[in-house]
Copies of this chain bind each other. A is one copy, B any other.
Amino acid sequence: MTQTVPAQARRVPRIRLGMVGGGQGAFIGAVHRIAARIDDQYELVAGCFSSTPEKSAASAAELGVGRAYGDFAQMAMREARRKDGIEAVAIVTPNHLHAPVARAFLKRGIHVICDKPLTATLPEARKLAGAAADSDALFVLTHNYTGYPMVRQARAMTLAGELGEIRLVQVEYAQDWLAEPIEQAGNKQAGWRTDPAQSGAGGAIGDIGTHAFNLAGFVTGLELEALAADLQSFVPGRAVDDNGHVLLRYRGGARGMLWCSQVASGCENALRLRVYGSRAGIEWAQEEPNALWVTPLGRPRYRLSRGGAGTGLEAARLTRIPAGHPEGYLEGFANIYAEAARAILARRDGAVPDPAATFPGIREGLEGVAFVDACLRSSKRNGAWVALAL
């Protein structure tokens, strides 16, 4: 017998999602789609997946997405007019397009879920920040590593003072996929990332340095006072940096180092954060994301496990399966979507959003681009200390 279900317990309708970028052969668009699906709160109904209508349509067909657009501006306009138009858009194009695309949707009140870095240039970032401020729509930046439960756990412990006064931040993000000049051999993702016109003037520092910088700030809550950067471009003919060494000074006295590299042979996606305070440290590595090491002064180091004993609410609310059943990158990414969904649904209902829902937004995006800008300025001035030009 098919049951009649009482109205109040019914599932709320899925958030109608659009996507710009993420066409055939693209990397992160597919990740966003999985992330949006995992918790079943979004439905992808429209997209401008590529820069040409044909390709966009082909992608849409493959994905079973009903409404394909050949131009993001059109998409924003038309979707805004439909009764069943998208409520949110995921922006997964190369960097230089984030700003124009985002503005097109923001000004129509469509929530934006944009990948990082916020924009290719600092002026653009500032302008976009203004647009976001002027819009009723939400702005979500997929600094996805902040979605890992054990990163949330680290943040909770750090902010609660369990580490004592924070002294040291060591953050690094090492890859090797650009160790050779594959942009000259036609690799698509490498192509635009090493083209300042599309990527911004920063190379590795923008592509992954921003993740590292954001992660450190997210976990510690510290604000940067100044940095000194030494950027390098090791691969002959490369137009942007592919490695960066940065010294960090945070307000309040904490000091740090940030290393990012796309030429560290043998490193895959080695984002790692270590924070040491006067009473304890924490250590987390993205490649083993289910563990958070706590290293207290004068007590044995211990391993907090996602879903396991000793782990708090901040991690638990983003945890789907028990300890020992590893969650990974896609689930971490999905957590950003889940947090965003809480905020979006609250807006839909005119409700007060869940105060626990946390995700990076326009502010973090602006800081990230200002971080890249500062690194470039410092490096040009031979590693002089500079502040973020927020």
Contact = CB atoms under 8 A, between A and B. Distances in A.
A308 interface: yes
18 contacts: A1-B70, A3-B54, A3-B69, A3-B70, A5-B57, A5-B60, A10-B61, A10-B62, A31-B320, A228-B383, A230-B255, A265-B277, A267-B281, A268-B325, A298-B309, A320-B330, A325-B329, A327-B328
A297 B230 contact: no
A310 interface: yes
Interface string A51-79: 00110111011111001111100100010
A288 interface: yes
Interface residues of A, number: 111
Interface in A93-146: none
A113 to B, nearest CB: 18
Interface centre among A69, A253, A280, A298, by most B CB within 10 Å?
A: A298
Contacts of A33: 40
A243 B383 contact: no
A9 B61 CA distance: 6
A53 B5 CA distance: 11
A211 to B, nearest CB: 12
Nearest to A288: B288
A288 B71 CA distance: 43
A184 to B, nearest CB: 15
Contacts of A3: 53-54, 56-57, 60, 68-70
Interface in A254-296: 255-257, 259, 261, 263-270, 274, 276-281, 286-290, 294-296
